[in-house]
Structure 1
Amino acid sequence: MTEEQSSVFTASHGVMTAEVGVISGELELRTTCDDDGVLALAITYQGADEWYTLPGEDYRLHDPRDHEVVHRILVTVLARP
């Protein structure tokens, strides 16, 4: 299993979470991908201990080697104004 965690980015328009609804501000994204390509997405406020999941399920990469690229794309999309 691989894990990618972003540096802090600003989500001025917010990011929807499954647990608490929309969160915004200085956030960090963590993605994990297992050997079968199953992808898990979690987000937190900068420096917080509690992580929230992004809505949806059954995220799967065709090739687990794409994990790092997909992580960077997600951060870019979530941080856009």
Structure 2
Amino acid sequence: MEKKSSIFTATHGVMTAEVGVISGELELRSTCDDDGTLTLAITYVGAEEWYTLPGDDYHLHDLRDHEVVHRLLTAVLERS
């Protein structure tokens, strides 16, 4: 299992499955299991409660793509 984490600022907000839109200084965590299952979670920086990003199951066909997908998601969410 591999975990990646990035801090970014979302001015316009990011949709979560549990509480709707959150904005401000956020942390994205992506976890890739050995079978390619990708789990995405987001929180306010320094908070304990994590939220999930909406959508179906995420799966990587090549585990080496985890770094690229994580960086891409961080960049897109920061533009939100």
Tell me the TM-score range normalised by the shorter chain. Answer: over 0.9
Q: Does 1:34 align with 2:18?
A: no
Deviation of 1:54 after TM superposition, in Å, equals 0.3
Return the letter of the residue paired with 1:61: L
Kindly state the Cα deviation for residue 21 of structure 1 after the two structures are TM-superposed.
0.4
Unaligned runs of 5+ in 2: none
- Runs of 4+ aligned residues of structure 1 deviating over 6 Å after TM superposition are none
User: 3-state DSSP class of the match of 2:54?
Assistant: coil
1:56 deviation in Å?
Answer: 0.9
Higher strand fraction: Structure 1 or Structure 2?
2
TM-score, normalised by the number of residues in structure 1: 0.94
Alignment map for 1:3-42 (pairs within 5 Å): 3-6=3-6, 8-42=7-41
CA distance in 2, matches of 1:58, 1:20: 19
Partner of 1:77: 76
Name the counterpart of 1:2: 2
Q: TM-score, normalised by structure 2?
A: 0.95
Percent identity between matched residues is 76
Q: How many residues are treated as equivalent by the alignment? A: 80
Pairwise CA RMSD: 0.9
Q: What is the distance in 2 between the residues matched to 1:56 and 1:38?
A: 13
